[in-house]
């Protein structure tokens, strides 16, 4: 398995292009939002708003371009329910269009007790399995996905997300000083890649000529000062 860089460089062209797209699509919004960790965040990324064919197709292109840049090798894409279902299928279609045909699989929240049964749908989880998700915050979804993949006989080989919030995890001890990406890489030995990270968003806001957007820089930077790594 090829190694994947853990950081994109501030000002990375692909990341900047993606942040611009997410803002213009209304997926990346600014204001005051309560996170699952009960933190008040000045920004929110809602991948559910990639809600038409054009936006979803372009999102899949960004995932594919980041994966190509990383050079990671995998056999199956796994998307955890619910948002990961759409992401895994869209990415598989885009990769096939580019000449890389891989399987995709997702899980049900409630196991099915009729028909084919079980909690997994799609390709068999065998070989190298890439986990795809929208946002990386606490890493809970990734940990659950790893358990499902290993139970099915597959080998998790990496994680790709649209946005890494680069926040400290909740809890005590040494883990609290690391982000979810750092924990996953160091403790679970999985490569983590992201189309964009919080520092890319900060670069976008800081360098933006639109005063309506650049005005959000101070609050987002302050949030990272409090909760970021």
Which are the catalytic amino acids?
112, 114
CA torsion through residues 58, 63, 64, 65, sign: positive
Peptide bond into 82 cis (omega under 30): yes
- List CB contacts of 205: < 8 A, sequence separation 6 or more: 213, 214, 216, 217, 220
Strand order in the sheet with 191-197: 118-122, 103-112, 76-79, 128-136, 155-164, 191-197
């Amino acid at each position: 398995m090829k190694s994947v860089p853990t950081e994109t460089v501030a000002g990375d062209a692909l990341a900047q292009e993606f942040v611009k797209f997410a803002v213009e699509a209304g997926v990346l919004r600014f204001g005051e939002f309560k996170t699952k960790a009960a933190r008040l965040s000045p920004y929110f990324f809602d991948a559910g708003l990639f809600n038409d064919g054009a936006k979803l197709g372009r999102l899949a292109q960004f995932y594919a371009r980041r994966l190509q840049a990383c050079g990671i090798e995998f056999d199956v894409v796994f998307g955890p329910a619910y948002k990961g279902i759409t992401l895994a299928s869209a990415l598989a279609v885009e990769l096939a269009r580019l000449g890389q045909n891989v399987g995709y699989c997702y899980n049900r929240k409630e196991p099915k007790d009729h028909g084919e049964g079980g909690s997994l749908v799609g390709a068999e989880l065998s070989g190298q399995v890439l986990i795809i998700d929208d946002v990386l915050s606490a890493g809970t979804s990734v940990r659950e996905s790893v358990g499902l993949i290993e139970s099915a006989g597959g080998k998790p080989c990496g994680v790709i997300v649209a946005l890494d919030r680069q926040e400290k995890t909740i809890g005590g001890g040494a883990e609290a000083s690391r982000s979810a990406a750092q924990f996953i890489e160091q403790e679970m030995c999985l490569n983590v890649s992201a189309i964009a990270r919080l520092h890319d968003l900060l670069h976008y806001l800081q360098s933006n000529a639109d005063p309506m957007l650049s005005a959000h820089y101070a609050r987002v930077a302050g949030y990272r000062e409090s909760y970021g790594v």
